[in-house]
Amino acid sequence: MARDQAPFDVNGRTVFITGAARGIGAETARRLHRKGANVALVGLEPERLQALAAELGDRAAAFDADVTDYEALQRAVSATVERFGGIDVGIANAGISYTGSLANAPIEQVERTLAVNLLGVWRTDRALISQITERRGYLLNISSLSAVAHAPMMGPYTTAKAGVEALSDALRMETAPSGAKVGCAYFGFIDTDLVRASFAQPSVERVRGNSPSFLTKPAPVSKAVDAIEQGIERRAARVWSPRWIGAMIALRGLIQPLTERRMLRDPDSLRESMRAAEASQETSKQDPLLGVAMQAVSDRP
């Protein structure tokens, strides 16, 4: 992760964050606000966004926008510029997940995942890029270890995250002449609502049992926020968390064959995972807009 000559200080600058209602987005907003940033909180859960904005105070504003709606994103960008004078940092964090196989999952869930996790990042980038280039700022797209290792029962998610990586690489080069920077974040399993609810699904429990424990043990949200904070300071091309993901990115040519070999050592287990997804009807219980993460919320006492 290359360093600029001086850290990019968010104090007094404005950060635009999608998926800011919970998880990584909300905790990133809290961290950067403490460092003096203005924060624009963008997402689909207006009550949670308004509550977070009220918690943070005057230097925070909430905007209800679906990242699949480009006009809504443009309105959020315009309102942020009107409120704070400009946007220096964009974090395209919004993401959802459903469980199930590519062959049998409901088509609308597959397409919703691609629409939010890939095209939603592109729309966010497109809505922000003129501000970022004008102010020589930084745009960070949230991808995943899934961009490097493509696991079964996560087909739409891993497809989208691999696309986010490619999108970030291309946009980084196109943006470089302006002096702005574009980064891509690669996270493993982080202890968020999305991960907790996904791990509770019958199909995922079986696949998870065939994976090395260090890969599937969720890391605290704070570790992802640390990586984002450091990425902004360096305007880094790539950031990741946990640390071992850096080695997996470097060895990516070996990772996918090894992943497939490990999974196919026990094809009966994989078949059973797909059967479990259908038998449990888990896909029918997942929120049409926000995916499996909403189950973690509804299960809270």
Indicate whether 4 pLDDT > 50: no
- Dump pLDDT digits (tens) for 119-131: 999 999 999 999 9
What CATH superfamily classification does 14-294 receive? Answer: NAD(P)-binding Rossmann-like Domain (3.40.50.720)
**pLDDT, greater one: 122 or 248:** 122
Domain extent listing, the chain: 14-294
> Active-site residue numbers?
157
Q: What is the pLDDT of residues 37-59, one digit of tens each?
A: 999 999 999 999 999 999 999 99
* 3-state secondary structure string across the chain: CCCCCCCCCCCCCEEEEECCCCHHHHHHHHHHHHCCCEEEEEECCHHHHHHHHHHHCCCEEEEECCCCCHHHHHHHHHHHHHHHCCCCEEEECCCCCCCCCCCCCCHHHHHHHHHHHHHHHHHHHHHHHHHHHHCCCEEEEECCHHHCCCCCCCHHHHHHHHHHHHHHHHHHHHHHHHCCEEEEEEECCECCHHHHHHHCCHHHHHHHHCCCHHHHCCECHHHHHHHHHHHHHHCCCEEEECCCHHHHHHCHHHHHHHHHHHHHCCHHHHHHHHHHHHHCCHHHHCECCCECHHHHHHCCC
Q: pLDDT-based confidence at 265, cuts 50/70/90?
A: confident
